[in-house]
Chain A
Amino acid sequence: MTPYLLRHVLKAVVTLWAIVTVTFVATRLSGNPIDTFLGEGLTAEGRQALIDYFQLDRSLWHQYLAYLRGVLSGEFGLSFVDRRPVTTVVAERLWPSGQLLLSSVALTVAVSLPLGVLAAVYRRSWIGSAVMVVAFTGYAVPSFVLAIVMVLTFSYWLNWLPVVGNGTWLHFIMPTIAMSGVLIAALTRFTRNAMLDVLGQDFIRTARAKGLRETQVVLKHGLGNASITVISVLGLQIAGLAAAGSVVVESIFSWPGVGQMLVNAAILRDYPVLQFGVIAVAVAVVAINILTDIAYALADPRIRLARA
């Protein structure tokens, strides 16, 4: 187990270094923060004074090395715009994003596992086909389209659901659905395929032969074994969701999370916030991947043994 974990941690460190570096370069290519947050009517002299004050005149190498040093010592700097430590800025937005992610994952699992099993068991009836049609359609609808259609329908026309912020449980409904839509579609299909694989195996025939009830065959032996595939897919998809889905969905629903913060920071060229925000998301993604691998290994002894 230990070398297995170690290799993954090492891989994670290299990944994070690459992310830190790419973020650093990309933010600096996109424009100067002085122009975006100081407004108009700055003289060249005044501009220089502010560049000095915010220490934007150092060479890129200098900034990069200073930044790496900061990252290693846990000092991520101050936001250019509001001058708070970026760790504070990001920290106050992690929980709202986490809440949304958790509710989306919960909804995804609650919907796609039963649907996937249903589609596998009734693969030859209209039920199975109907589930797959819905799943394929859902996969083709991007989260922002789903979000906007829901906003139009349930807020703009029907006036049933609120659109701004995360104040009450009602606020969770549309963002959660928007975040999980694609994921539900994907996971339903994977669950179905994994179930079909498993249900064709010899041990399923054995289970039936020894007289187990069909529900027990399907749920215990079938889903139990299919869950290995499902877990790995879920892990990968959640990672993608945390990174990309939240940016779009949080912006539409003014959700006070990391995704919305990243958009604001990008518009204002607030390098420190943008960098740390991307790193925070990257760490989350990498952590989710490691957890997935561990869960995977736990669920299937073969993997653990083979890789060790």
Chain B
Amino acid sequence: MFRLLLTTALVALPLVAAAQEITVGAANVAPYLDPGRDHSNVGSQFYYNTFDTLIDRDHGKRELEWVPALATSWKLVEPKVMEFKLREGVKFHNGADMTADDVVFSLNRMMQATFPPYVVRAKDRLGNFLRAEKVDDLTVRVVAEREEPLWETLMSLQQVMIVPEAYIKGLTGKADVAEDSDYEAFALAPVGTGPYKVAAFQPGEKLVWERFDDFWGETAPLERATVVQIAETASRVTALKTGEADIITNVAPDQLSLIDSDPNLKTEGSATALFHVMIMNQNHPKLRDPRIRQALSLAIDRDALNEALWLGKAIVPSTHTMAEMGALHQPDLVTFAYDPERARKLLEEAGYDGFEITFDTAATYYTNGLLAAQAIMEMWNAVGINGRVNVQDQWSGNDPEMMVRNWSNPMYFADPFGSFGVMWAPGGPSESEGRFNTDADYAKKWDRFRFSTDVADRNAAYVELMEEIKQDPPLLPLYRPFESWGMKQSVNWAPMPGHIPYVLDFRAGSISFAGN
């Protein structure tokens, strides 16, 4: 009888089917799919299978290596103008040909954005680009305001993936005008040029990809991939055990052994390219003295946090860069360190009188976030700081009363500008929320760091910025959390070092099956 039950289940479920179909059990399925307006960890999982950029990179390598995608070549024709030759014969999933007009439309919807969600996303990273122009049917130019050291990097962002102009404009209202409602509708019925088309999408619940036979590049290895949201961690692990899912996302560190001990299953993981950070309010009346904040930072033994919370698999940084940033990674620079003795001394010098310092954290938003906060209270306590964890779901980073809290600084793209540079820019998120101050001197250094075309000069400017951060600290990067995926032994898949965090890359060469 039970054998019968099982057999029926196996036959009835599309989940355990031929090897060319897989089911992914994801902690979250995105509520909408528009690469332009999104930069969330949830959304990032889904864009690379569906959309292409003009320039791509070899994601198998950590080193930056640009490869042609929808553009076959590109070159600077003037110091501030890049010309792209477009690939011929590229089709969108709706059967339309990709034209220079589509490319210009896609880029300008960000570079000259009017739809508020685009405006917000474009400003921090695409602010240097004025416009895209069509030269002829296969040539497009992009004009920058200032000389741009990061052309390839910024032209390969998720936000400038290419989308179909006529399709979007025709979704609602007038067929020749791009209304806000067109973009809203597009986010529920996305069409791109990538190897998989979105065959079905139920926001926050389910996404079905089907192989796109007219894809311009190497044919997709999967006939169909279904992503279902399984919010409960225990249910995800169980779904993997029962065979209902072939891959599951977001396996918590304490669940790894459950999966690894099953001979039919395995885990893959990597230290995610994002920092969990602790932020400190420079403008809180009680924290104005930088020595207090220095002490708050120096008191924290991040290696101990790594061992205890991440089984030593996280990466504790000495400064705000990552190996992915290539020539701009500066592992020898020590901006952040553990020195409880010095912390005690600084507190004494600053005349710290034992007032309470609150550390805000949501209960579950960051993996291990609450545990880390509690451990930090103990470390603070050891040097004489009276800390208290304040658990609340509300974001307090813009609250003048906020003293200390957790946050994250993702690597939006593989350059220090894509992480530190965005979050701690003059007028950026931190300063505009009133908890970080910059002056003309900082702005000048930041400008060199962002725009200098000489890598050595950019690195030198970064060092100067870090010295300011060290002297008057607004943050401490805790670690790069270790993120894991569980899967069947027969599935060959792992996060690729060349991607931003969380990308589910099922393109040719990225996934295969044992025995195939």
Counting chain A CB atoms within 10 Å of each CB, which of B39, B235, B394, B398 scores highest? B235
Is A110 close to B, CB under 8 A?
no
Question: Does A31 touch B at the CB level, under 8 Å?
Answer: yes
Contact in complex: A39, B31 (CB < 8 Å): no
* Complex CA–CA separation, A161 to B202 (angstroms): 25
In the complex, chain A residues whose CB is within 8 Å of the CB of B124: 41, 43, 46
Tell which of A31, A42, A256 touches B393, judged by Cβ atoms closer than 8 Å: A31
| Given known A-B contacts A49-B120, A254-B228, A254-B232, A162 and B203 have beta carbons under 8 A apart | no
Instruction: For chain A, residues 22 to 49, give those with C-beta under 8 angstroms from any C-beta of chain B.
Output: 30-32, 35-47, 49
C-alpha gap A252/B246 in the complex (Å): 19
Chain B interface: which of A4-12, A79-87, A119-127, A292-300?
Answer: A79-87
Q: Which of B21-39 contact A (CB under 8 A)?
A: 25, 31-32, 38-39
Pair B239/A39 contact, Cβ less than 8 Å: no
Cα A69 to Cα B422 with chains together (Å): 42
| Inter-subunit contact B398/A44 (CB<8 Å) | yes
Complex: A296 Cα to B409 Cα, angstroms: 60
* Contact call A46/B119, Cβ cutoff below 8 A: yes
Majority DSSP secondary structure for residues of B touching A: mixed
Partner of B203, one of A36, A81, A156: A81
Tell me how far the C-beta of A144 lies from the nearest C-beta in chain B, rounded to whole angstroms: 10
Q: Counting CB contacts under 8 A, is B241 at the interface?
A: yes
Question: Which of chain B's residues has its CB closest to A81's CB?
Answer: B31
Contact B31 A254 (CB under 8 A): no
The yes or no answer to B471 lying at the interface (CB within 8 A) is no
* B147 contacts chain A at the CB level, 8 A cutoff: no
- A129 within 8 Å of B (CB atoms): no
Asked whether any CB of chain A lies closer than 8 Å to the CB of B170, the reply is no
Contacts of A172 in B (CB 8 A): none
Query: Does B223 sit within 8 A of A, measured CB to CB?
Result: no
Question: Cβ of B204 < 8 Å from any Cβ of A?
Answer: yes
Q: Does B123 contact A (CB under 8 A)?
A: yes
Let me know if B228 and A41 touch, CB within 8 A: no
Q: Tell me if A63 is interfacial: C-beta within 8 Å of chain B.
A: no
Number of interface residues, chain A, beta carbon within 8 A: 53
Closest to B422 in A: A41
Whether B394 pairs with A32 at a CB distance below 8 angstroms is yes
Q: Which of B348-356, B369-377, B425-433 lines the interface with chain A?
A: B425-433
B242 at interface (Cβ–Cβ under 8 A)?
A: yes
B3, closest chain A residue (CB): A160
B9 partner residues in chain A, CB cutoff 8 A: 160-162, 168, 170
Known contacts A81-B203, A156-B241, A160-B2; is-contact A165 B228 (Cβ 8 Å) = yes
Q: Which of B5, B203, B206, B231 contacts A170 (CB 8 A)?
A: B5
Starting from the known contacts A92-B202, A164-B230, A251-B232, 12 additional A-B residue pairs (CB-CB under 8 Å) come to A43-B433, A44-B432, A82-B188, A159-B241, A160-B5, A161-B242, A163-B239, A163-B242, A170-B5, A170-B8, A256-B206, A260-B231
**CB-CB nearest 6 A-B residue pairs:** A35-B395, A44-B432, A46-B120, A82-B203, A53-B116, A81-B31
Interface residues of A (CB under 8 A from B): 30-32, 35-47, 49-50, 52-53, 79, 81-84, 89, 92, 148, 151-152, 155-156, 158-165, 167-168, 170, 251-254, 256, 260-261, 263-264, 268
List 22 A–B pairs whose Cβ atoms lie within 8 Å, in order of A's numbering.
A30-B394, A40-B409, A40-B429, A44-B429, A44-B432, A44-B434, A49-B119, A79-B203, A82-B203, A82-B204, A151-B238, A161-B5, A162-B9, A162-B13, A163-B238, A163-B239, A164-B15, A164-B245, A167-B13, A170-B12, A252-B232, A254-B231
